[in-house]
Structure 1
Amino acid sequence: MTAAPIATRFTELVGVDYPIVQTGMGWVSGPSLTSATSNAGGLGILASATMTYPELEAAIAKTKSLTSKPFGVNLRADATDAPERIDLLIREKVKVASFALAPKPDLIAKLKDHGIVVIPSIGAAKHAVKVASWGADAVIVQGGEGGGHTGPVATTLLLPSVLDALGPDGIPVVAAGGFFDGRGLVAALSYGAEGVAMGTRFLLTSDSAVPDAVKAQYLERGLGDTVVSTKVDGMPHRVLRTELVDKLESGNGATALAAAAKNANRFKRMTGMKWSTMLKDGRTMRKSGERTWQQVIMAGNTPMLLRAGLVEGNTEAGILASGQVVGMINDLPSCDELIQQIMTQARDRLDQLGKF
């Protein structure tokens, strides 16, 4: 039996049955996972930051061959070829463009003019207000429980602060960080959010291409087995605690920079990027004021360390991004099974709450 849809402004905005988003995770959110999520009634999002332009072009085509439902693509607004990637989304009529760093108003306007829904991820109320004023259609708000790059404020405090800042007539808010079941969805809706976004929970599905041996390592972990490290790429990054992470945490700055430079060179060779392009991207990051030059150099660590762990399954040489929610997950359902479980539980909780 298929769970009844729950309609919110977000589901109406993006054209899905359920207010559930699978986030764009580098090396993880490919056509298979994205299409499986969308086919299950949620919104799947392709992660393009670790793809070359031709790879993204092929990934969009593959996803479209696997689903007729709406899906999105996560983009780096500060990438040198961001305008070309945006043109690709327009040509391919992709439904949603999501961003970790919000694009400037002109790019938002261009996407919206062509019918593409723009959804930046933000980590502070003031950023939500800013992107709303720029024309963003909705925002994803990730609390500190979330995996990958994250902030210090828990979802239970960050979410209401954003909702209060945007006001009752503000753009739709999707909550992320710590969500994995129907109880969390109902809690987010009760705060005033209009959906939830999940990364780690979708990584741990049978539709995820992450090696089974790596998934098994995730399933063994508890609530205290993640750490927020700044030694991976200079920014707060929540990952599973491993021997490599412990070594990075105890290492000195010079060693970390040397490793980052080596990994940046490996990423350059793998993607075919030119040093001039990488330097342009670095200057763009610096101009945004978000990173120091040391952090820009260390950013070269992230793609290769994640690839080693999540693609090659080499957890001794790679890192495993993870939300704290990993300690609450013990199975590997399909995306369809997962979403149905969440919606059924959400309906049960709403029925129970109706008795009070």
Structure 2
Amino acid sequence: MTGTVHPALRTPLCELFGVRYPIVQTGMGFVSGPELTAATANAGGLGILAGATLSLTGLAAAIDAVRERTGAPFGVNVRADAPDAAHRVDLLIREQVRVASFALAPKPELIARLKDAGTVVVPSVGARRHAEKVAGWGADAVIVQGAEGGGHTGAVPTSLLLPQVVDAVDIPVIGAGGFHDGRGLVAALAYGAAGVAMGTRFLLTSDTLIPPEVHRRYLSAGVDGTVVTRTLDGVPQRLLRSDFVDRLERSGPVRRLARSARSAARFRRLTGTSWRHLLAEGRAMRRDHELTWGQVLLAANTPMLLRSAMVDGRTDLGVMAAGQVTGLIDDVPSCAELIERIIAEAQAVLHRLAGAPDAGR
């Protein structure tokens, strides 16, 4: 991006993260690898490496791989309820990773440890009360995802949730759920957000290692091409509609539990996770999310079903997390092309609203 950037696009996030633009690429399991994370960082946004589906050793290697590709700041996503979350936090501190991203609220002691080390802490939430809680615990910023977003999601649309959270906390708020272009970025800023986070839009870039057939499935979906289901783990998730998801919804509990048990074993082998850690994680999920043991076992199914589609390209045997915004996306640019386009569009909108010519184009 050449030329002067509109001052409205230099938000507190830019200084907090050390990036040029207030755009975040979320840490999507089996999608946000070193290639995508580094490409986003090199383009001026904050790339977040997905760490939840990696072993601790694999995560260390992935961080090294990002560093081989970029000298820009980036983040790493950690599951706050993982049995080895403290060890992963220690790794981020040792590696001097700029941002620690959490899909769930991290414990106050983890936040304190990261902040003492100078690491920026950014949890993702789907409700005002959760944003207030993590802000009170010392989080530096918060990603707020509305119902339009993919993966685990709530029921309140971004247009209502985002201003509600902005009014409730005094830390930078990042809007997520439904964003894909410069108009959305300006809209989020108008609500009081400090930037936007996007998953599906970055998934549909040429810097991911997603199989072409998976990209085609996303591009062919309409705005009504997603479904929210509790079938996988008892918690609402937004996925692409598919025959496989329909079969999961129709299958009985015994069949789903048997499939989940097999998937848990496969996931353990893939990540090197011990059965003891899996059981500890299951107990934490049961306590934190008020799930039954049956739902906990179903949750073990999710990583392998995501991997089947996102890595193996088996859209007939896997699931694909997707925001409703997939119905508005019709191309697969590079991260550099995408971010440059978003900033150019945002500047054009800002100049138009001010009654000025499109000086930033």
TM-score tier after normalising by the smaller chain length: over 0.9
The aligned counterpart of 2:102 is: 99
- SS of residue paired to 2:321: coil
Q: What is the 5 A alignment of 1:302-341?
A: 302-341=302-341
Deviation digits for residues 313-335 of structure 1, max 9, x if unmatched?
00111111110000000001000
The aligned counterpart of 1:263 is: 263
1:348 matches 2:348 = yes
Deviation digits for residues 227-285 of structure 1, max 9, x if unmatched?
00111222111111011001011222222222111211111122222211100111122
* Runs of at least 5 residues in structure 2 that lack an aligned partner in the other structure: 357-361
| One of 34, 41, 65 as aligned partner of 2:37 | 34
Distance in 1 between residues matched to 2:259 and 2:233, nearest whole Å: 10
Kindly indicate whether the alpha-carbon contact (under 8 Å) linking 1:3 and 1:343 is maintained by their aligned counterparts in 2: no
The aligned counterpart of 1:212 is: 212
The aligned counterpart of 1:127 is: 130
1:79 matches 2:82 = yes
- Tell me the amino acid that sits aligned with residue 219 of structure 2: L
| One of 4, 11, 22 as aligned partner of 1:8 | 11
Kindly indicate whether the alpha-carbon contact (under 8 Å) linking 1:45 and 1:72 is maintained by their aligned counterparts in 2: yes
**Residue identity (%):** 60
TM-score (norm. length: structure 1):
0.97
- Tell me the amino acid that sits aligned with residue 175 of structure 2: A
Q: What is the 5 A alignment of 1:138-217?
A: 138-166=141-169, 170-217=170-217
1:113 matches 2:116 = yes
Aligned length: 353
Displacement of 1:304:
0.2
Displacement of 1:290:
4.5
- SS of residue paired to 1:235: coil
RMSD: 1.2
The aligned counterpart of 1:245 is: 245
- SS of residue paired to 1:239: strand
Kindly indicate whether the alpha-carbon contact (under 8 Å) linking 1:22 and 1:202 is maintained by their aligned counterparts in 2: yes
- SS of residue paired to 1:227: strand
The aligned counterpart of 1:295 is: 295
- SS of residue paired to 1:46: strand
* Runs of at least 5 residues in structure 1 that lack an aligned partner in the other structure: none
Kindly indicate whether the alpha-carbon contact (under 8 Å) linking 1:3 and 1:344 is maintained by their aligned counterparts in 2: no
Kindly indicate whether the alpha-carbon contact (under 8 Å) linking 1:3 and 1:340 is maintained by their aligned counterparts in 2: no
Deviation digits for residues 134-164 of structure 1, max 9, x if unmatched?
0000000000100011111100011111112
Distance in 2 between residues matched to 1:180 and 1:2, nearest whole Å: 21
Distance in 1 between residues matched to 2:270 and 2:330, nearest whole Å: 34
Greater alpha carbon shift after TM alignment, 265-274 vs 102-111 = 265-274
- Tell me the amino acid that sits aligned with residue 285 of structure 1: M
- Tell me the amino acid that sits aligned with residue 253 of structure 1: P
Displacement of 1:286:
2.3
Deviation digits for residues 173-196 of structure 1, max 9, x if unmatched?
000000000000000000000000
Distance in 2 between residues matched to 1:290 and 1:109, nearest whole Å: 26
